[in-house]
């Protein structure tokens, strides 16, 4: 078992083999972790929130659900989930997002850059947009179709565990938004544990 701490507003990438287990742990509570992955062999295949929604026919992703690639192939299975509320609608925060909503994008840490930079260490070309699984992010849709973001429901020590269904490179970013309720107005670290599937 290998353990890592992803400091607030930063990211890390990890190579996984099929069958490996990766745990994402909210150390202090109410902190979102952006989860994205690419096929370890063919980087043109990657986690797709859109396809995952299409295959499940739901915005609710929780225990026993499968995360799919852009080629409609199983990539991960969510085998444990302490919270049950995660987001698949919102793209990674990025400079342009901070400029749009908060007018402070210059120099602001963001998950889009964190993920692209860490994946580049494994030879993965940069993505022009990234729509991750936003672990612990608490979004809902109102009756008039408005998207609402509330503070996460995760408590200190809450976790999700995913099993890799293919060899992959995973990147996780501790979300950088302190300007709103996404992380309960305070950015915090995330813990990752990886166990071999052998």
For residue range 53-98, list pLDDT tens digits in order. Answer: 999 999 999 999 999 999 999 999 999 999 999 999 999 999 999 9
Q: Under a CB-based contact definition with an 8 Å cutoff, are residues 64 and 79 in contact? A: yes
Distance CA 8, CA 61 (A): 24
Percent of the chain surpassing pLDDT 90? 96
Q: Under a CB-based contact definition with an 8 Å cutoff, are residues 5 and 188 in contact? A: no
Distance CA 119, CA 14 (A): 9
Q: What is the pLDDT of residue 161?
A: 98
Distance CA 134, CA 139 (A): 10
- C-alpha closest to that of 27 among 155, 176, 186: 155
For residue range 100-146, list pLDDT tens digits in order. Answer: 999 998 889 999 999 999 999 999 999 999 999 999 999 999 999 99
* Residue 162 CA to its chain's centroid (Å): 12
- pLDDT over threshold 80, residue 198: no
Please list the residues that pair with 33 across neighbouring strands. Answer: 135, 174
Q: What is the pLDDT of residue 91?
A: 96
pTM for this predicted structure: 0.96
**For range 162-189, the mean pLDDT:** 96
Percent of the chain surpassing pLDDT 70? 99
Q: What is the DSSP letter of 92?
A: P
- C-alpha closest to that of 194 among 165, 166, 170, 158: 170
Residue showing tokens 């990752």? 192
Q: What is the pLDDT of residue 37?
A: 98
């Amino acid at each position: 078992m290998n353990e890592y701490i992803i400091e607030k507003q930063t990211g890390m990438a990890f190579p996984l083999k099929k069958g490996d287990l990766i745990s994402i742990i909210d150390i202090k509570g109410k902190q979102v972790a952006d989860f994205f992955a690419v096929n370890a062999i063919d980087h043109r295949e990657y986690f797709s929130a859109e396809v995952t929604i299409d295959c499940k026919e739901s915005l609710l992703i929780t225990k026993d659900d499968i995360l799919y690639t852009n080629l409609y192939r199983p990539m991960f299975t969510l085998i444990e989930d302490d919270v049950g509320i995660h987001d698949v609608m919102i793209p990674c925060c990025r400079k342009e997002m901070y400029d749009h909503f908060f007018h402070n994008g210059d120099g602001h840490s963001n998950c889009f850059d964190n993920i692209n930079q860490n994946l580049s260490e494994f030879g993965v070309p940069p993505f022009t947009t990234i729509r991750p699984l936003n672990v612990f992010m608490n979004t809902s849709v109102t009756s008039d179709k408005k998207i609402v973001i509330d503070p996460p429901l995760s408590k200190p020590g809450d976790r999700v565990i995913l099993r890799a269904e293919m060899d992959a490179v995973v990147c996780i970013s501790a979300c950088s938004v302190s300007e709103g309720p996404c992380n309960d107005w305070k950015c915090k670290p995330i813990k990752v544990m990886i166990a071999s599937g052998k």
